[in-house]
Amino acid sequence: MNFSGEHSQAESVQTAVIVVAAGSGTRLGRPERKAFAPLAGRPMLAHALDGIFALTEPVQLIVVAPDAELESARAIVAASAGPAVGYTSVVAGGASRQLSVAAGLAAVAPGVGIVLVHDAARALTPTAQFEAVIAAVRATRSGVIPALPVVDTIKRVDQGGAVRETVDRSELVAVQTPQGFVRAELDEAYADPAADFTDDAALLASFGHSVGTVAGDERAFKITTPWDLARAERLLAEAAPGAQMPSTASAPRVGTGVDVHAFSPEGDDAADAAPELWIAGLHWPGQRGLSGHSDGDVAVHAVCDALLAAASLGDIGGIFGTDDPRLAGAHGEVFLRETKRLVERAGFGIGNVSVQLLGNRPKLSPRRAEAEALLSGILGAPVSIAATTTDGLGFTGRGEGVAAIATALLLPA
């Protein structure tokens, strides 16, 4: 699809940029496909194209979109198009990222010698990063990827989560896009239908082609979770001319969280014994535990949901995942500390949290002060806990499970 109508311009283009926008993005928790989810009032794909349309060098743009979103993608490209892109195609993606890149590669015009592959989910990638990759591929005649140094301590763990060793991070980098390649080398790699790699650089390396790096950019982070989306919203708001602090962090925010867990069934023998009971961060010895992927702590889970809701970061299921094997049996402190970190990175401090437990057992009053002190210490803010029965009504009244309702107040940092 040629929006410019100038085939002669396409023939003079030396670089193509394939933007992969065919992913489902289930972890983002949006009804739309990820690239078409709204970001600061525009589809994420439109933001991803901004850095490309601002290039001074003319390039061919190829957007790879899901079959059902081809018309939407064409409309987004048409509305965003800039003078640097003289020839644009929108093509249908495949069942995997690699198949989608292959579909985009098939649409690259003859005569193009350099191909960049970019993820639409890295929507805030600046134009300078595209320019740096293009220049490096042109200078080295080899593949080039943007990379950032790894700043966190990295551990290697076994399937049970036990630490086996600390990995030397001095030789590690976090890889971003766009990844740039010599067109002939990329064609050769994608001619093998059996190849299966997580990124194009690994695919090229498997064919013996060298891949270098250029400095990445923090703004080119991948939008995967609701927290990532909120971070992108804030960055765009702060970058707007005359912008004040974004509204999400300019006033106190209140969130509500609810969680429910059933008591585990009684086992017939020691092998079928019910799990331990953990509520409000405390172990309750001698009592049958609650069912759940982690420790089933309804109070902690409700608090996390309340904090995340107040910060517009989604919910505990979207952030942590209900089937992550690393969280099997994890205790509440793990969730609380990570939730606190996310909320603070979103520009908030925790004002206070209130939790109401509903159930016949355990009896909270003898350990209320202990639970409040524990949770307050983890969150660095006052936490109050109350409990009530439901006078024999409902599943809590019948002793089948416990529910918790939490309310959290966040304050601008």
Q: Which residues are annotated as a binding site for a divalent metal cation?
A: 259, 261, 301
With CA atoms as reference, report the closest residue to 106 among 49, 183, 4.
Answer: 183
Classified as helix, coil or strand, 182 is: strand
Please give the single-letter amino acid code of residue 24: S
**Neighbouring C-alpha atoms within 13 Å toward the C-beta of 367:** 15
Distance CA 196, CA 306 (A): 41
- Binding residues, by number, are 259-261, 293-294, 301, 315-317, 388-391, 395, 398
Distance CA 306, CA 300 (A): 10
With CA atoms as reference, report the closest residue to 178 among 227, 233, 136, 139.
Answer: 136
DSSP letter, residue 266: P
CB proximity list for 27: less than 8 A, separation 6 or greater: 224, 225, 318, 321
Q: How far is CA 123 from the centre of its chain?
A: 13
Do the Cβ atoms of 277 and 288 come closer than 8 Å?
A: yes
Distance CA 145, CA 179 (A): 5
In sequence order, which ranges of 283-389 are alpha helices (DSSP H)?
298-310, 316-320, 332-345, 368-379
